[in-house]
Amino acid sequence: MTKMLTQFIEQENCHTLDFYLKNGGYNQAKRAILEMSADEIIEIAKQSNLRGRGGAGFPAGMKWSFIPRDIDKPKYLISNADEGEPGTFKDRVLLSKNPHQMFDGMIIAAKAIDCHLAFVYIRGEFKKEAEILENAIAEAKEKNILGKRIFGSDFDFDIVVHRGAGAYICGEETALIESIEGKRGQPRIKPPFPAIEGYLQCPTVVNNVETFAALPPIFENGAQWFVDLGVENSAGTKLFSISGHVKNPGVFEVPMGTPLHDLIYNDEFCGGMKDDIPLKSVIPGGSSSPILTAKEIDGLTMDYDAIQKAGSMLGSGAVIVMNETTDMVQVCYNLARFYAHESCGQCTPCREGTAWLIKILKRFTSGGARQEDIELLLDITDNIGGLVDFSQGSFGKTICPFGEAVSWPVRALVEKFLPEFEKRVQEK
Amino acid sequence: MALILMDGKEIQIENGATVLSAAYRNGIEIPHYCFHPAMKIVGSCRMCLVEIDGMPKLQTSCSTKIGEALPNRKIDGKYDMVIQTQSEKVKKARKTTLEFLLLNHPLDCPVCDQAGECFLQDYTYEYGSSHSRFIEEKLVRPKEDFGSGIQHDPNRCIMCTRCIRFTREVSGTKELHKIERGNHNKIGIFEDKPLDNPLAGNVTDVCPVGAMLPKDSLHKERVWNYDVAETVCGVCARGCNTNVSYRENQIFRITPRRNMDINDWWMCDRGRYFHHEFETKNRIETPKCRQNSELISVSWEGVFNFVREDFARVRKEQKDNFSVGIVASPFLTNEELFTLSDLAHSLDATVYRFVDTKIGEKQEFPQGFKISDDFSPNSAGLDKIFTNADDVANLKKHSVLFVPSLVAGFEFSDSTVEQMKKAKLVIAIQDEKSAISDFANAILPAQNFYEKTGSIVNEDGWIQRMNPIGQSEKFRYNNWEIFLKLQNLLVGKSAQFSSVSEVFSNVIREKFGLEATFFGLKKEAIQMNGGK
């Protein structure tokens, strides 16, 4: 099976520059800087149909093409390494085992948007990974891969590592930008989008770690190669971080369109359910994606379209597997509590609604739930994040997608596991 | 220009206007909290959501700009945007946003000073629900003193952040911050840096709810009991437009009134709280005259008779040495100064200019709000009406002297007072007892600047109208009438003015070379050198 991101992670010193160079590293960055034009780079990225790996799945090449060319302002590139979505731990592997591949991709993207200073915004808890990045940058500077006139060209490019302070919301790109600017991390109202006014009101592109890391193989093997790896609308391979009640949780790189069943049950991956207790439900794309029942994941393949059709989303590729012993009311409370804790508090529905949700859910978990609370829970999720209807877009009522991120999973849990919630009412 | 359809109404509007401003300019109300025209748009309260054709999400009308659509994107072939502000979706969004805002709100309107002018109250009546579905315990946090006489109640706060943005963008002092996160977030200050700037009081005005209240007027009166005088602040030459809230002749608070030519939406704290300077027990309420070195209260007729007789006596005694001095004050209105100048002219008096009022510090804030260094309201008007007044420091010995009120913060120098004492007859037109009262021969009760009607000229030449808090019946004579009366008394004739607006028309024509009506001035200030 083709791997392009994690093929070396088991090997010793795989994070070093020497190792990376020995395996053909930075050839594509060098080629992009010395031989390719911005248009050519963007064209390849578009043809490859590389979609953002952070969760939203926005085509990377398209994002770059929004950067205005003929303006006086500097342009900035940011690698979003604020991996905070519960269940997600894939970027951490790339950052610690293969940091140079991300830099490689960042250099390619920098050439595409004419950027000379980039940031890696890494979540505060990733102290060790931040050190690895710092060392990797120092190594690259020594070899003229970063810094002034890289690869002997007249192109300057530098990368700065910026550590966050642990807020989930700083993974949202505009909150991330605010945070880099030294402000309170809370999302900005859009428009203007970062491509027009991002970091310091300058055009800015924010891409996920995995997105950048996917670029060198694409440029090495060609866009079509990447498209052929996956399925329709979902090109390439994807990292899935699988956790929960499985025998062998971990990060697995597989082509888009791989059946979820294989990921959970094949010995190559998770090796089946832990203690062989049957599966009850799966969160397919990080905590903010609606939960899917055992029935719904029957025959499900892991690609954007298939998961959307099943009523959820691929998100960041964080699969949380739950077996039949799982208390879904507790799951719901736990998820909601996370979101209530992480809400930045800027807009009304999210600030007030998330706190209200956990107060009600607390009554479901520890007594005092009323029958009408079920209807109330659903109504509150509607009032924060809107109804889940992927065919018509989102109806969220908040500045950023956080509103949807809390509403969708809570709503899905209540609707799909209604009897469990109703049982708590009767228990009163 | 773009053509939009809002609630079925066709509206022509310039490109780049926001949906909210298009609505307001066309008489359509869209409720909102965080939006304030002076501040950066944050779109966080989610109260102004509207439905726009072609957009699945409701949009914040404060931040959504209207622009011409491409020909093939026009709706019904002609509209650049079709907006609904009253659809079911919008109504539900408003209702639920209000429900959210009220979850942890104490609902303590009966003891909240904001009640009656509270947007949370108003919008809840208009768009909200009459019952609550919230049965949980509310979040309760203690009130805080932010400094500058401002009390913050985090329980009433709706986190619109207007106050934070005010201190960042308007006053530029950045004392207020958002602290904590999510439902626990609140407005806060750093321990060692309280709210402390000359414009601090404005945060109580920008606050749409009762979260920021001035301690100065806290729990003293309900807002619906106030009478309001729309007037102009008299504490510096800026002339900020203000609303004076009063009841039964007592001023409770002063708040700024929008005027984009002069003060935008703001006023300084000195002007806001200056009315307390007049709350002394030294008020002169009846005319007084000095008999056998004792000041005794007399009737108006009594004091006028006294002045007339003493004036004649002094003139007779002094013969060739007889001279009259008049001190003109920039705390007087144009109308008062005009009748005073008539009096001076008819008595051939030497006119002196009041003590130097440029005792302040010129201040300008980031968005352009200014505080003048001149702590009097009408220096410009005085300069125009008395073109060759001498400095009061050069006061000569006069037989008769007319002296106006002193205002808090100003004193005549000792040497000036000594010089004044040399006059045979000192006639003081005063609102409060002062150093002058100790030796004045006659005192005529005057109106202070919250009590009189008239026009003043600010440092930029704007002529504006002062309006009194409604207690004119307390004064038998307006200040300008006193000067006319004195002229009639001492010279035997004077101009015949029946109202302040008549004096205004005359002073404005003769001294400023303008044609204007006093009534017109109520609506709009005029600029001295042309302009409006």
CB A121 within 8 A of CB A180: yes
Query: Cis link prior to B142 (omega < 30° from 0)?
Result: no
Q: How far apart are CA A21 and CA A151, in angstroms?
A: 14
Q: How far apart are CA B384 and CA B508, in angstroms?
A: 10
Terminal-to-terminal C-alpha distance of chain A: 53
Predicted confidence (pLDDT) at residue A255 exceeds the cutoff of 50: yes
Q: Which of B99, B104, B123, B164 would best serve as a mutation to test chain A binding (most A beta carbons within 10 A)?
A: B99
Instruction: Render pLDDT for A90-104 as a digit per residue (tens, 0 to 9).
Output: 999 999 999 999 999
CB nearest A189 (choices: B42, B103, B133) = B42
Mean predicted lDDT score pLDDT of chain A: 94
Predicted confidence (pLDDT) at residue A39 exceeds the cutoff of 80: yes
Q: How far apart are CA B98 and CA B45, in angstroms?
A: 10
Which whole number is the average pLDDT over B245-259? 93
Q: How far apart are CA B146 and CA B144, in angstroms?
A: 6
Residue B309 CB neighbour total at 10 angstroms? 10
CB B423 within 8 A of CB B400: yes
For the entire predicted model, the pTM comes to: 0.93
> Nearest CA of chain A to the CA of B42: how many Å?
6
B332 Cβ contact list (under 8 Å, min separation 6)? B340, B378, B382, B404, B479
Which whole number is the average pLDDT over B1-14? 95
> Nearest CA of chain A to the CA of B35: how many Å?
13
- Give the start-to-end residue ranges of the domains of chain B: 2-97, 288-527
Predicted confidence (pLDDT) at residue A377 exceeds the cutoff of 80: yes
DSSP state of A257: T
Lowest mean pLDDT segment, chosen from A241-255, B192-206, B393-407: B393-407
Q: Which of A201, A347, A352, A388 would best serve as a mutation to test chain B binding (most B beta carbons within 10 A)?
A: A352
Chain A residues lying within 8 Å of B158, measured CB to CB: 348
What CATH number does the domain located at B288-527 have?
3.40.50.740
Which whole number is the average pLDDT over B372-394? 93
* Nearest one of A155, A109, A161 to A131, comparing CA atoms: A161
Chain B residues lying within 8 Å of A349, measured CB to CB: 46, 96-97, 100
Q: How far apart are CA B265 and CA B162, in angstroms?
A: 13
Q: Which residue has the tokens 């945007």?
A: B81
* Cβ–Cβ gap A344/B184 under 8 Å: no
* Cβ–Cβ gap B182/A167 under 8 Å: no
Predicted confidence (pLDDT) at residue B20 exceeds the cutoff of 90: yes
**Three-class DSSP category at A36:** coil
Q: How far apart are CA B446 and CA B452, in angstroms?
A: 9
> Nearest CA of chain A to the CA of B5: how many Å?
22
- To the nearest 10 degrees (0 to 180), the angle between helices A38-48 and A99-113 is 120
Instruction: Render pLDDT for B269-297 as a digit per residue (tens, 0 to 9).
Output: 999 999 998 887 888 889 999 998 899 99
Chain A residues lying within 8 Å of B49, measured CB to CB: 397
Predicted confidence (pLDDT) at residue B243 exceeds the cutoff of 60: yes
When pLDDT is cut at 50, 70 and 90, the band that residue B530 belongs to is: very low
> Nearest CA of chain A to the CA of B97: how many Å?
6
* Nearest one of B432, B386, B425 to B407, comparing CA atoms: B432
> Nearest CA of chain B to the CA of A379: how many Å?
9
* Nearest one of A51, A49, A113, A43 to A77, comparing CA atoms: A113
Nearest residue on chain B to A184, alpha-carbon basis: B178
Is A130 near chain B, with CB under 8 Å?
A: no
**Three-class DSSP category at B17:** coil
Q: Which residue has the tokens 């049982």?
A: A423
**Helix, strand, coil % (nearest 5) of chain A?**
45, 15, 40
Q: What is the interface size between A and B, counted as CB pairs within 8 Å?
A: 98
When pLDDT is cut at 50, 70 and 90, the band that residue B474 belongs to is: low
Mean predicted lDDT score pLDDT of chain B: 92
CB A357 within 8 A of CB A381: yes
What pLDDT does residue A323 have?
A: 96
Chain B residues lying within 8 Å of A401, measured CB to CB: none
Predicted confidence (pLDDT) at residue A413 exceeds the cutoff of 80: yes
Chain B residues lying within 8 Å of A343, measured CB to CB: 181-183
Instruction: Render pLDDT for B443-468 as a digit per residue (tens, 0 to 9).
Output: 999 998 899 999 999 999 999 999 99
Is A399 near chain B, with CB under 8 Å?
A: yes
DSSP state of B508: H
Predicted confidence (pLDDT) at residue A119 exceeds the cutoff of 80: yes
CB nearest A397 (choices: B41, B46, B104) = B46
Question: Beta strands B324-328 and B294-297: pairing type?
Answer: unpaired
What pLDDT does residue B416 have?
A: 92
CA-CA-CA-CA dihedral for A303, A305, A309, A315, to nearest 10: 60
What is the CATH architecture assignment of B2-97?
Answer: Roll (3.10)
Provide, rounded to the nearest whole percent, the portion of chain B with pLDDT above 70. Answer: 98
Which pair of tokens denotes residue B393?
């420091």
Chain A residues lying within 8 Å of B182, measured CB to CB: 340-345, 351, 354-355
Lowest mean pLDDT segment, chosen from A212-221, A379-388, B24-33, B132-141: A379-388
Predicted confidence (pLDDT) at residue B126 exceeds the cutoff of 60: yes
Q: How far apart are CA A376 and CA A354, in angstroms?
A: 13
What pLDDT does residue B532 have?
A: 38
Instruction: Render pLDDT for B397-412 as a digit per residue (tens, 0 to 9).
Output: 999 999 988 787 888 8
CB B284 within 8 A of CB B300: no
What pLDDT does residue B409 have?
A: 80
Predicted confidence (pLDDT) at residue B300 exceeds the cutoff of 70: yes
Chain A residues lying within 8 Å of B44, measured CB to CB: 189, 346-348, 399
Can you count the helices (H) and strands (E) in chain B? 13, 26
Q: How far apart are CA A415 and CA B195, in angstroms?
A: 49
* Cβ–Cβ gap B46/A348 under 8 Å: yes
* Cβ–Cβ gap B101/A356 under 8 Å: no
What pLDDT does residue B201 have?
A: 97
Which pair of tokens denotes residue B89?
């979706």
What pLDDT does residue B249 have?
A: 85
Which whole number is the average pLDDT over A158-172? 95
Instruction: Render pLDDT for A11-33 as a digit per residue (tens, 0 to 9).
Output: 999 999 999 999 999 999 999 99
What pLDDT does residue A391 have?
A: 52
Is A352 near chain B, with CB under 8 Å?
A: yes
> Nearest CA of chain A to the CA of B78: how many Å?
24
Spell out which chain B residues touch chain A, with contact meaning CB-CB distance below 8 angstroms.
41-47, 49, 56-58, 60, 63, 92-93, 96-97, 99-101, 103-104, 133-134, 136-137, 139, 158-159, 178, 180-185
CA-CA-CA-CA dihedral for A402, A407, A412, A414, to nearest 10: 140
* Cβ–Cβ gap A189/B41 under 8 Å: yes
Q: How far apart are CA A388 and CA A308, in angstroms?
A: 11
**Three-class DSSP category at B371:** strand
**Helix, strand, coil % (nearest 5) of chain B?**
30, 20, 50
What pLDDT does residue B283 have?
A: 87
> Nearest CA of chain A to the CA of B101: how many Å?
7
* Nearest one of A163, A174, A186, A199 to A77, comparing CA atoms: A199
